[in-house]
Amino acid sequence: MTRRTAGGLTLALLLVASPIAAQETAPVDHESEYAACMTLTSSKPAEALASARAWEAQGGDDAARHCAAVAMIGLGRYDEAAVRLETLAADLDPAEVDLRIGALAQAGQAWLLAADAEHALATQTSALALASDNVELLIDRSISLATLTRYWEALDDLNRALDLAPGRPDILIFRASAYRYLETLDLARDDVDRALALEPDNPDGLLERGILKRLAGEPQAARTDWQRVLAVAEGTPAADVARSNLARLDGTAQ
């Protein structure tokens, strides 16, 4: 990759620097730089992006590019992040399979955040071609498929994920939702009950069970589940949906 100098002044200083001065420059600890940069991506993504760019100019290479892309996700620049992650995956050594899978998985998530399920699906399918039994990728692709209303295909991925990771509540809840959209409510209820037997206060499970109870003509039982979501998961997306559902139940929705 062609590298750019930091600026004219830096270049001038480099041209006149003595060999002794160059030898005294401390080498960059790329492992520490990566750890620090990735830590910033969740709390201060703008700082992480600036740090990644400066570090790349110091030889940060693929690790710096990865941190920059993740920082862009934190900044809401989802499309740009997804493209950068896909490019990074393509540029990596083919032998670095795990790194390529990780970059593609994150690209797929970024495309979903950008509300582009078609791109997400294509990227996740490419990743699964490298790791067909990756449970997290199967779950991610099932979400893309469901977003595209391809529920039977989503079920195929979720069934495979459950075969590989039996009894995971999140997979059971995703599958319950897919069954609900397919109007197979008995199977949906069975899955969500199994999930809540494993994690009684799982907010997504409580939310889903409440929806199924309302569809079954049990509004008060639905209310109980949604109120429990508010009690255990205030401030989360699940709580926001539960509050909206309660408002509709009470006839107070705007």
H or E stretch at 44 = none
> Per the structure, how many domains does the chain have?
1
The answer as to whether 100 is a domain residue is no
Give the helix ranges, DSSP H, for 56-150: 61-74, 78-91, 97-113, 117-130, 135-147
Residue 25: what pLDDT? 53
How high is the mean pLDDT of the chain? 89
- Residue 27's CB is within 10 A of a number of other CB atoms, namely 7
In a domain, 96, yes or no: no
Dihedral pair phi/psi, residue 173, rounded to 5°: -70, -40
Q: What is the per-residue pLDDT across 3-58, written as a single tens digit (0 to 9) for each?
A: 333 333 332 332 233 343 444 456 777 888 889 899 999 999 999 999 999 988 88
Range of the domain at 227: 167-254
User: Which long-range contacts does 61-64 make (Cβ < 8 Å, 24+ apart)?
Assistant: 61/1, 62/88, 62/91, 62/92, 62/99, 63/30, 63/33, 63/34, 64/33, 64/34, 64/37
Contact 79, 114 (CB under 8 A): yes
Across residues 202-224, what is the average pLDDT? 97
> Residue 143: inside a domain, yes or no?
no
Does residue 15 sit within a domain?
no
Q: What is the 3-state secondary structure (H, E, C) of 161-213?
A: HHHHCCCCHHHHHHHHHHHHHCCCHHHHHHHHHHHHHHCCCCHHHHHHHHHHH
CATH for 200: 1.25.40.10
- Express each pLDDT in 75-102 by its tens digit: 999 999 999 999 999 999 888 999 999 9
**Is 243 within the bounds of a domain?**
yes
Comparison of pLDDT for 48 and 59, the residue scoring more: 48
